[in-house]
Amino acid sequence: MTDKVDVHVSSVETFCRCPRQWMIRWIQGFIRPPKWALVVGRRLHKLADVALKRKYYKQELMTGDEAEELARDGIKQDAANTEILLEPDEVKAGAGKTRELEITRCGKMSRCYAQELLPQFHPLSVWVDPDGKPIRALQATPEQREDVATRVEATVPVVEFQFALDYRGRPIKSVGTMDNISITDDPGDGARLRDLKGSSKSPTQDEADNSLQLTGYGLAAKAAFGMNLTGFALDKAVCTRKTQKTYSRSLTTERTGADFAAYVRILDEICESIVKDHWHGCHPGSWWCLGCGYRGRECKLHTVKVVRP
């Protein structure tokens, strides 16, 4: 293999659960249609990108009404242009009813983000060279944010920041998009790399503490910006499916050198699998395998029906 394989930070957890599924998606390139959760999540990220950059460059907060309207219009367009894979309960409810429910939920979560999460964060910026390559991190105080707004060619906020980092001597590149690196109004809290999710249920502290995405983004921030971050946060805009109750939750978490070393070992395992072209599957009776869209199609590893006791 001469070309390096892109290892998306968001895909590393998939490799840990089932290397074979990871290979089918990222090596063989078989892409299954997205489910509503992914479509809604992508739209929420696009809304956050616009809102955070407006806050950074213009010192303006997006209103809840505007956020909901933008999200609803955007996801309607997404739904019209995207084949969406329905879950069994969504098939039972009907495609049209499910579509209207998810459009409503997306709008409500976007309003929640604008009203509850957005005001808390102040994005950091990085100096960039004429080619847009980061030079060094800049701790963005309010005075600095006002100053750099007149020199946008020299700095950019770390908001939906795309990266592609060569893993030297190995057959992969680490790629992804950092949601944002921000500070808050709390003087006792330093910079945190934050990951935004839309969800139908509250996050748990274990979810934040064990997030491989946050760990991978932390390593990327060190490589790209020279930032040795130890503070991270998982932000969720929640809208339940039954009652459409909407609220936000932010969970902070930390990472140590041991956490980053463990993540690097996973990257090494991915490299080894690529070099040896060896891809084992997860247990055929696990929910991850039973619910896999590749099972019995692109993946013929587990074709025997599993009967649970």
| C-alpha radius of gyration, the chain, whole number | 21
What's the rounded Cα separation, in Å, for the pair 58 and 197?
A: 25
- For strands 231-239 and 192-199, give the pairing: parallel
What's the rounded Cα separation, in Å, for the pair 221 and 104?
A: 35
| Tokens found for residue 130 | 């004429």
Instruction: Report how far apart, in Å, the C-alpha atoms of 82 and of each of 33, 38, 53, 100, 228 are.
Output: 8, 11, 27, 15, 39
The pLDDT score that the predictor gives to residue 142 is: 54
**pLDDT average per 10 residues of sequence, the chain (309 residues):** 86 96 95 94 97 95 98 97 93 96 97 97 80 55 50 72 87 95 87 96 96 97 88 97 95 97 96 94 89 87 50
The pLDDT score that the predictor gives to residue 71 is: 98
How many Cβ atoms sit within 10 Å of the Cβ of residue 207? 15
H or E, element range at 108 = helix 95-112
Instruction: Report how far apart, in Å, the C-alpha atoms of 269 and of each of 16, 172, 264, 272, 283 are.
Output: 9, 11, 9, 5, 19
Find out whether 173 and 7 touch, Cβ atoms under 8 Å: yes
| Tokens found for residue 106 | 């997306």
User: Is the pTM of the predicted complex or chain greater than 0.85?
Assistant: yes
Instruction: Report how far apart, in Å, the C-alpha atoms of 59 and of each of 53, 141, 186 are.
Output: 9, 12, 19
